[in-house]
């Protein structure tokens, strides 16, 4: 039987999602807890691989068991009691045996949070900047990105991916209280892409980069041409979308 796990985590204490020898990761923590509760080894596949310090308010993974789980809701409750407080399980649901948390996702949305103010109650959940960027100008630049699909200039070097093509359907900045939030949606993302796009758009917002300059960066397909990669603590995976007629079913109230 295959099950989807809907979860969220604060990534501050983890070296990303994916298991790494000798390092704390979300996958390792979740696999250990599930293996203990189910009294059998459990291997989990995640919907993506967030980097060290990156958060997820919407994340899915799947695992298999040889026998059906009698009460998935009870398992989710027990799992929450077993896990550290920076990792929350929303639901565990049975899915078709060929359902795949990573490959069946049709879109993902990330948000990056910045502020030019000290926010003590948001510590570790945003990135501090030391200038007041032009929001309208950054939105002009963000809209420009929707006209492209090759994001080589924003991809981490020397990664094993077959293509740097991504189909963006949303890229915009908004003001939320004391923070500026960059929201970006695509069918897929390259490693480090959101953080480097954010840093480059902030260069536009502070007047260091023109719209023509941004076009040149995208079209040259050279990571060295883009802006700095922003720190991980401001980045959240906020929405993972699947075909609506398949899975996962809505969370319980």
- d(CA 133, CA 209) in angstroms, rounded, equals 12
In a 3-state reduction of DSSP, which class is residue 183?
strand
Work out the number of other CB atoms within 10 angstroms of the CB of residue 227.
Answer: 21
136 as an active site residue: the answer is no
Whose CA is closest to 223, among 161, 151, 160? Answer: 151
Angle between helices 26-38 and 72-82 (to 10 degrees): 120
What are the structure tokens assigned to 159, written together? 């990664």
Q: Which helix (H) or strand (E) holds 229?
A: none
- d(CA 176, CA 199) in angstroms, rounded, equals 19
DSSP 62: E
What are the structure tokens assigned to 154, written together? 């924003």
The active-site residue out of 51, 58, 212, 251 is 51
- d(CA 104, CA 107) in angstroms, rounded, equals 9
Cite the DSSP H helix spans in 24-134: 26-38, 72-82
- d(CA 190, CA 196) in angstroms, rounded, equals 10
Question: Which positions are catalytic?
Answer: 51
């Amino acid at each position: 039987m295959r099950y989807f796990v809907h979860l969220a985590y604060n990534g501050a204490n983890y070296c990303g999602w994916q298991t790494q020898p000798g390092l704390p990761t979300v996958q390792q923590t979740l696999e250990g807890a599930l293996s203990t509760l189910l009294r059998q080894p459990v291997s989990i596949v995640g919907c993506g691989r967030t980097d060290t310090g990156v958060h997820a308010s919407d994340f899915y993974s799947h695992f298999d068991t040889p026998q059906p789980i009698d009460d998935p809701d009870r398992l989710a409750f027990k799992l929450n009691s077993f896990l550290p407080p920076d990792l929350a399980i929303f639901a565990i649901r049975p899915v078709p045996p060929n359902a795949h948390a990573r490959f069946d996702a049709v879109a993902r949305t990330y948000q990056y949070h910045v502020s030019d103010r000290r926010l003590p109650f948001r510590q570790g959940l945003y990135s501090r900047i030391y200038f007041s960027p032009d929001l309208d100008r950054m939105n002009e630049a963000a809209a420009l990105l929707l006209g492209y699909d090759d994001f080589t200039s924003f991809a981490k070097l020397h990664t094993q991916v077959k293509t740097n093509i991504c189909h963006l359907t949303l890229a915009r900045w908004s003001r939320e209280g004391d923070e500026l939030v960059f929201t970006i949606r695509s069918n897929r993302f390259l490693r480090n892409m959101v953080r480097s796009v954010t840093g480059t758009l902030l260069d536009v917002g502070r007047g260091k980069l023109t719209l023509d300059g941004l076009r040149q960066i995208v079209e040259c397909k050279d990571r060295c041409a883009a802006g700095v990669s922003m720190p991980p603590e401001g980045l959240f995976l906020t929405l993972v979308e699947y075909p609506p007629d398949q899975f996962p079913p809505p969370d319980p109230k």
